[in-house]
């Protein structure tokens, strides 16, 4: 500390005139600049000398560090030490935005006769502080628990982690372990929604849905670039066979497992076995390569044009809406999904049959299976929430989509999976919400409705159990509002 006799104490409130009250000072010429010279390491006599010099040049130099100080001048001291001293409050409290400057800024200003511009080379380096800030940034991802409370775009910053966890989810699903599958899907969705790449597993502390197993996998991938469990799964004969066989349209896990027990592990063995296949499986095997090649957006648009033509021919006024992954903005999909309706309630009855027969007559269908609507609000609605998911008139089909021929001997068409759903206009908003996906987003919406709101949500209706009544809606926004959720647009439902 400066010996008392030499210390000039500025009474608080002084300096409003822009002057420290020192007898040697010239009038304050630079009101935006208020200096404080740090005595520590600089020494009391040098500080007094420099302060006097500054005031002579018309600069305002404070004796105490305060809110008014804009520039702190230091000598022979590290930025981190200065920060620690300022934060201790020993010399008074000041603004955190004050420049922490080396004495070189001061001497240059003296030479120039005015406060010079603050350049990077004048600033004190606060290495420790920078590191602390970097470390502070490391912790702190947070997210609400339900995927329907989060905005998940297609912009995934953690694809190597989500690929690993998705594969484990897929393996669980292929092994009939649905609970584990959902757990991995939830963990995957949380990581998909993060705004930045994860660099350390410690950043994930406190995030929902990330169990010990998922965290172990994430840690291993972050540290070594791959997960041993994922790699072993990929190599496993069982996983490979299940993937190949269930990739046949019409073949589920149960069928694939039965075939594997009978020694069938690939398409050739299946063909050679002479096994009788049902109609969907025959079509699936026949168009295997086409159906396992992702559908592109232009192809989806081409299918949409055909569906529109069908509607115009069989029921003018009926409308078609692209749903599923393409509505969420995906660039490719495993199929194309459409929701058909008519603005007048009741006019949609019989629409599916007419559309399908038009498509068949025009030669656009390689395969189709239509299921009839059996949804009855009074009987099925609230009591059987999950079983009414597919009770619209629904058609699973394989389109014969004309394509530009790119070489001789190539097919002038390709097989594309297309799903058509018809809903009455009164249920349209629910159908739209229920068929836009993603599958996990839908599952989470229903879980939220049931667990948090005592409501039952399906693709037909929303039932409020507390009020014992159905809630009507004509838009997705209204349904989110009933559920007490912020509206999430389709492009942010990619959980
Ligand atoms: N869906 C449904 N009932 C079914 C099958 C599917 O309600 N029996 C819903 C799913 O919940 C999903 C939507 O239909 O929201 C689309 O399903 P699908 O085509 O399988 O998935 P996409 O998200 O479109 O993915 P992809 O792009 O691979 O087709
Ligand atoms: Mn789809
Ligand atoms: Mn589909």
- Secondary-structure class of domain 147-235 per CATH: mainly alpha
Q: Where are the domains of the chain?
A: 34-136, 147-235, 237-286, 295-374+386-404+411-492
Judge whether 397 and 416 are in contact, CB under 8 Å: no
Three-state secondary-structure class, residue 466: coil
* pLDDT tens digits along 302-315: 999 999 999 999 99
Cβ atoms of 207 and 141 within 8 Å: the answer is yes
Average pLDDT over residues 467-485: 98
For the sheet containing 455-457, what is the strand order? 455-457, 462-464, 469-471
Instruction: Name the catalytic one among 80, 390, 419, 464.
Output: 419
Token pair, residue 35, equals 């200096």
Q: Does domain 237-286 have CATH number 1.10.150.20?
A: yes
Q: What is the mean pLDDT of residues 127-154?
A: 82
pLDDT tens readout for residues 240-261? 999 999 999 999 999 999 999 9
Q: What is residue 16's predicted lDDT score, i.e. its pLDDT?
A: 43
Query: In whole angstroms, what is the distance from residue 367 CA to residue 356 CA?
Result: 10
Residue percentage of the chain with pLDDT more than 70: 89
Task: For the chain, give the longest Cα–Cα distance.
Answer: 109
From atom 27 of ligand 1, which residue's Cα is the shortest distance away?
333
pLDDT classification of 85: cutoffs 50, 70, 90: confident
Q: Does any ligand 1 atom lie closer than 6 A to the CB of residue 80? A: no
> Which atom belonging to ligand 1 lies closest to the Cα atom of 328?
23
Distance (Å) from CA 172 to ligand 1 centroid: 19
Superfamily holding 295-374+386-404+411-492: Beta Polymerase, domain 2 (3.30.460.10)
Average pLDDT over residues 65-91: 89
Element (H, E) at 229: helix 228-235
Distance between Cα 439 and ligand 1 center (Å): 6
Q: How far apart are CA 66 and CA 75, in angstroms?
A: 19
Same fold, 147-235 and 295-374+386-404+411-492: no
User: Binning pLDDT at 50, 70 and 90, where does residue 128 land?
Assistant: confident
The residue whose CA has the least distance to atom 6 of ligand 1 is 435
pLDDT at 352 over 60: yes
**pLDDT one-digit tens code per residue, 21-46:** 444 556 678 999 999 999 999 999 99
Nearest ligand 1 atom to the CA of 337 is 19
Query: Alpha-carbon dihedral of residues 142, 148, 150, 153, nearest 10 degrees?
Result: 140
Do 366 and 283 form a contact (C-beta atoms < 8 A)? yes
Does ligand 1 have an atom closer than 6 angstroms to the CB of 442?
A: yes
Q: Rounded distance, CA 398 to CA 420, Å?
A: 11
Please give the structure tokens belonging to residue 438: 């993603």
Architecture of the structural domain at 34-136 = 3-Layer(aba) Sandwich (3.40)
In this prediction, residue 12 carries a pLDDT of: 40
Q: What is the mean pLDDT of residues 129-142?
A: 70
Question: Does ligand 1 come within 6 angstroms of the Cβ of 494?
Answer: no
- Measure Cα distances from 47 to 2, 22, 61, 459 in Å: 10, 15, 11, 77
How many other C-beta atoms are found inside a 10 Å radius of the C-beta of residue 187? 27
**Among 1-15, 40-54, 65-79, 240-254, the least confident range:** 1-15
Catalytic residue among 290, 337, 393, 464: 337
Is any ligand 1 atom within 6 A of the Cβ of residue 443?
no
Q: Which of 166, 247, 324, 418 to mutate to test ligand 1, by most ligand atoms within 8 A of the CB atom?
A: 324
Query: Which DSSP state fits 386?
Result: T
- Round the average pLDDT of the chain to a whole number and report it: 90
What residues sit around ligand 2, an ion, with C-beta below 5 angstroms? Answer: 324-325, 333, 335, 337
Q: Is the pLDDT of residue 447 over 90?
A: yes
Cα 306 to ligand 1 centre (Å): 21
Is residue 419 part of the annotated active site? The answer reads: yes
Position with higher pLDDT, 171 vs 87: 171
pLDDT tens, residue by residue, 161-199: 999 999 999 999 999 999 999 999 999 999 999 999 999
For the CA of 442, the closest atom of ligand 1 is 11
Q: How confident is the model at residue 386 (pLDDT cuts 50, 70, 90)?
A: very low
Contact criterion met (CB below 8 Å) for 72 and 100:
yes
Q: Whole-prediction pTM value?
A: 0.73
The three-state DSSP-derived secondary structure of 332-354 is EECCEEEEEECCCCCCCCCHHHH
CA end-to-end distance (rounded Å), the chain: 61
pLDDT at site 375: 65
Q: Are 82 and 74 in contact (CB under 8 A)?
A: yes
- The answer to whether 290 is a known catalytic residue is no
């Amino acid at each position: 500390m400066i010996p008392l006799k030499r210390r000039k104490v500025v009474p608080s409130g002084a300096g409003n005139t822009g002057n420290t009250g020192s007898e040697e000072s010239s009038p304050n010429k630079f009101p935006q600049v208020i200096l404080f010279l740090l005595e520590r390491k600089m020494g009391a006599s040098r500080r007094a000398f420099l302060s006097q010099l500054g005031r002579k040049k018309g600069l305002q130099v404070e004796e105490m560090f305060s809110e008014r100080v804009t520039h702190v001048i230091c000598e022979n001291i590290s930025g981190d030490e200065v920060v620690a001293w300022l934060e201790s409050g020993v010399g008074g409290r000041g603004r955190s935005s004050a420049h922490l400057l080396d004495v070189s800024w001061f001497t240059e200003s003296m030479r120039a006769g005015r406060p010079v511009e603050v350049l990077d080379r004048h600033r004190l380096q606060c290495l420790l502080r920078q590191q602390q800030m970097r470390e502070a940034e490391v912790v702190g991802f947070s997210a609400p628990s339900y995927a329907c409370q989060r905005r998940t775009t297609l912009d995934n910053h953690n694809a190597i982690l989500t690929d690993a966890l998705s594969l484990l989810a897929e393996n669980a699903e292929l092994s009939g372990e649905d609970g584990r599958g959902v757990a991995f899907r939830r963990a995957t969705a949380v990581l998909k929604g993060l705004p930045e790449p994860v660099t350390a597993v410690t950043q994930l502390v406190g995030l929902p849905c990330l169990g010990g197993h998922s965290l172990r996998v994430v840690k291993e991938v972050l540290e070594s670039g791959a997960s041993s469990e994922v790699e072993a799964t990929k190599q496993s004969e069982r996983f490979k066979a299940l993937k190949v066989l269930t990739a046949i349209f019409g073949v589920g896990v149960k069928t694939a497992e039965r075939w594997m027990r009978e020694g069938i592990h690939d398409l050739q063995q299946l063909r050679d076995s002479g096994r009788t296949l049902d109609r969907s499986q025959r079509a699936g095997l026949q168009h295997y390569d086409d159906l396992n090649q992702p559908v592109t957006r232009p192809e989806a648009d081409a299918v949409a044009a055909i569906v529109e033509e069908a509607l115009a021919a069989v029921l003018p006024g009926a409308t078609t809406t692209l749903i599923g992954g393409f509505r969420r903005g995906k660039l490719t999909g495993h199929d194309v999904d459409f929701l058909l309706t008519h603005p007048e309630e009741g006019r949609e009855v019989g629409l599916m049959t007419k559309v399908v027969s038009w498509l068949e007559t025009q030669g656009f269908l390689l395969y189709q299976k239509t299921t009839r609507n059996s949804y009855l609000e009074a009987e099925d609605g609230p009591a059987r929430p999950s079983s009414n998911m597919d009770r619209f008139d629904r058609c699973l089909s394989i389109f014969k989509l004309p394509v530009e021929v790119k070489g001789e001997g190539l097919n002038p068409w390709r097989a594309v999976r297309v799903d058509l759903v018809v809903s009455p206009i009164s249920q349209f908003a629910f159908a739209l919400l229920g068929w836009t996906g993603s599958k996990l987003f839908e599952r989470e919406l229903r879980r939220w409705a049931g667990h948090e709101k005592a409501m039952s949500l399906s693709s037909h209706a929303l039932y409020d159990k507390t009020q014992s009544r159905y809630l009507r809606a004509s838009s997705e926004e209204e349904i989110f509002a009933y559920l007490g959720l912020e509206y999430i647009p389709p492009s942010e439902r990619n959980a």
